[in-house]
Amino acid sequence: MNTITATSKEIILKSKTRDYAAFWKGLEFYRFVLNILIMAFLAILGAIASAFAIQHSMELMALVAFPAMLCFSMILALAPMKVLFGTAALSLTIDLVIIVLFLVA
């Protein structure tokens, strides 16, 4: 007959909670690499979206340019990575929506 014996010292329970503070701290460590990637994506998608937007109206061009300039300003100001990722996500979302709308139309 097989028996299983365990003492309380052998059992270790690990929590599966996520440590978001460690995640953002890791992103702060790789700040300069991530800044280059963010600037590249913003520049490429922003240029394509502005090429489509300028054909329609100046207001649409401003809608594309303002969030991108805001994100570039956050990079220069060394804003926290949470703020930087938020402004980059906003800018990239607007750019992708403009691109898709003009490609579908």
Q: What is the pLDDT of residue 1?
A: 59
pTM attached to this predicted model: 0.76
DSSP codes, 8-44: TTT---------HHHHHHHHHHTHHHHHHHHHHHHHH
Q: What residue ranges do the domains of the chain occupy?
A: 39-104
Q: pLDDT digit of tens for each residue in the chain (105 aa)? A: 566 665 555 555 555 667 777 888 888 888 889 999 999 999 999 999 999 999 999 999 999 999 999 999 999 998 998 999 999 999 999 999 999 999 998
The phi, psi pair for 44, rounded to 5°, reads -70, -55
